[in-house]
Structures are given as C-alpha cells and as structure tokens.
Chains A and B, each alone.
Chain A
Amino acid sequence: METFVNDIAFIIGTTLMYSTPLIFAAVGGVITERSGIINIGLEGMMYFGAFVGAAVAYFSGDPWLGFFCAGLAGASLGLLHAIATVSFSAEQIVSGIAMNFLGVGFALFISRLVFDGATQTLTVPKKIPLPLDFLFGEGKLFASSGFMDLVFNRFATVYLAFILVFVAWFVLYKTSLGMRLRAVGEHPEAADSLGISVFKIRYGAVITSGFLAGLGGAAMSIAVVSRFSNTLISGHGFIALAAMIFGKWKPQGALLACLIFGGAKGLEIYMGAKGVPIPSGLLATLPYVLTIVILVGWVGRSQPPASIGKIFDKGEN
C-alpha cells in the first residue's frame, strides 16, 4: 500500500515538474491571444529566457535575478513581436516564426561568446530554491521521500505557476483591464470607439507573454535542471501553444492542459521505471498521442478570440 501511495506521489511530483515551464508560457500565450495577437514565437522566447536565466544565475550566483532577467529576455523579443504586429500590421504568424529564429540565434550567439564557444552554460551555483525546505529546514516539515514530500516539496517556480494562473484568471475576468483586453481581442474597432487604446493593450499583452515565456524557460534551466544547453528547450514553446489552444484560450484551461500533458509524461516515466512491457520508445509517444485522443474524443473545436490574427488599422494613414 505504501509503495502504491508513493508511486502516485511520484507521478504527481513529476507531473508538476514537467508542467511548470509549460504553464508559464501557456498563460503568456493566453494573454497575448486574448488581445488578438497570435504568438507562435513562444518557443524562441522560452529558449532565450532559458539561456539568459542560466547565464545570469551563473555569473551573479542569484537564481532569482536570473529568473527575472529571463523574463526580461523573453519580453525583449515580445517587444519586437509587438512592434511588428501592432505598429506595422505584420503577419502575426510570420513574425512569430521570426522570433523563434531570433530567440535561438541570440541565445546561442551570446552563449558562444560568453562561454568559450560552447552552446551551453556552466552549472549554476544555486538553483531556484524549494520554499518548504527554505522555510522549515530540509526534511523537517515532511518526512523526506514520503507522499507529502514528493508532492508538495517542489521548486518555488511550481507554486509561482499556480499563483500566476490565478492572477491571470482574476485579471482577465474580474478587472476592467482584463475586460478591455478581451474586448480588444474580440472586437478592436468597438473597443477603440469606446476609447480603449488597442495599441497600448496589445503592446502590453504581447510583451507580457514574452516575459512569461522567458520565465518558463528559466523554470526549466535553473529549476528542473541547473544549466542551459542547446537541446534543453526543444518544442516546449510549441507544446505550450498547443496547451493554450487545448485550454480554449483560458488560463485555467491552459493549466489543465499543461497538467494533462505533464501527467502523461509522469506516467510515461513511471511506467518506464516499473518495466511495463511496452517498448520504452513507444511509451514516449504517450503524452502526444493522449493529447490527440483527448482533443479528438472530447474537446474538439475550440473557438479563438474573434479578431485573432486580423490586422487592426485605425485608418490614420
């Protein structure tokens, strides 16, 4: 019985670990797309954030400074994306693809300059802390490797991700800012005629999404692992994008999608460790196949914000 409970705890713990970076980026995606701007560049923003987070944490020794700078790195790409899409009516998908090339390019370019030609950083001296250990002392609150320890004794980023989902939900649905943002995404002309600045809202939303995607990258590079390498972020941004659509453009939906995905990953690792008689190679397809099955079977059509991807031009020129 005890091993069974611990097995469950192991799966939940792994789920949380894998979901966290995705949650940050997916919530970022929700915010920008609800304002009407597609951001397919989440991958590049995560990639750049993962590098900057690890590099700053390595040189400063402060993981939180690294975490924050990772956000800024993502936000800088977000700013570029906003300039293109909001100010110059760019094709949003095209600009997003550009962000993916730029994110990878900047990260590896700077990495080679700073880390002696290597496309990875050195190990950071300190990772993002485990808040429970930090507050109560290691192994004091819960017996180590017990159920509670495996489930709840997680990196601070895990808690932050859940708080973020709540804050994003609150802002989007319970504040006037959120209402404006959604109005801009549904019907920018109407929002504009009511005096809402489509321009400002969209800039803010796109930059925020970059910031969050950058945090997601750092949640990978200085919490899940302790360094950036060129293969660390490989498709996470795209999976976050999928989670956002899966979650029907809602923070809570995106959270659920990320957890399902992370859960499938946790199950895959657990079954692999237990020697379930399915070839481990095929087992690795589980999260992806499961996502498709859920989409086909239960979720189906998801409706994006009405004006998404459409160019808004005030008609000044």
Chain B
Amino acid sequence: MTIFLALVVGGLFGFVLDRIGVTNPSIMGRMHALMNLAVMKTILLAIGVGSILMFGGQMVGLVDVGHMSVKTAYIGVFVGGLLLGTGWAVSGYCPGTGLSSAAGGRRDALYFIAGGLLGAAAYMVTYPSVKAMGLLEKIGGGKVTIGTVPGSGYDGLTGLPGDVLGIVLGLVFVVVAFALPERPRKGEPVPVAAE
C-alpha cells in the first residue's frame, strides 16, 4: 500500500511539475532574473491552495494532523538556502526539477544530477565539521510553526491558533499570487527570438 501511494502521489507530482513549466531551465532563469514571474505566481498559488486545504481539512477532521512534518530551523537552513539559490540560478534546476527534467529528455539535467550526487556525497563527508561549526544549532525553537497547530505536537512561534492562521496565510499567498505582476521588468531586457 505504501509503495502504491508512492507511485500515485509521486507520479502526480512529477506530471504536474512538468506541466507548470518548472522542468524548463529557461522558465526558471526568467523567473529568477525577474523577467517573467508567471511560474512564481503558480508556486505561490499552489502553496496557498495546499495550505487552505490542509488546515481547513484538519479543522473539519478530514486531514490527519499527524501527517504534518515540520523541519527544524537552524542557521544552516539559511546558509544552505543561499547555496541552493545560487546553484538554482546558475543551473535552472533544483533537486526535484533536475530529476524530472532529465526524465523529460534534457541532457544537461544529467550533468546536474551527477553534480548533485557528488554534492550530497560531499555533505555526507563534511557533516561532522559542519556540525562542529555550530551551523546545525536550533534557532527560534527549532521545529516550530508560526501559530500553534492544535494536536500537531509542534510548538508555535506565537500562541495564535495555527490552523486558523494557516488558512489566513494561505489566503495571503493566493492574494499575492494574483497581485504579483507577471512582467515586472517589462520593456527593459531586449527580447531575443528563441531558435
């Protein structure tokens, strides 16, 4: 059953990733360079929709709060984010889209995956020194959500009801997705016809 769910959920996720265009490094590069934010609007809307459904589902008892999995906050999350962002801009790929793009026939994505496997191996080897540097020390309480989600077992950064706040923040994501201009730098870069 677990394997069946992995096939269904993973297959659906990969199909959607390809259909929204994130398996195209040109679309990602144009987003990062603020040339075209359509796919940013897609991602913001998705996070909002996911949040509203999950927290709404929890409140009416349809979604198991125990399925939540909140990651720890520490300095390395920010430093790692900076590194990932740099490589994401350079290559146009992140881990999920790199694998998905290779599956869709992109040859450069195979090089991304090879580099990624080496980078992950490098982390495995350097993990003790990263830990010794204190980069993995918890900040802000570690595994915390912005509000306190009832029954989740996670602490809240604030005492606000985490499920209601989750829906409110979800709505904020949806509003921002609609408000964000698709072409913030319109007219600045000279359009070059693609081959």
Q: Do A and B belong to a common assembly?
A: no
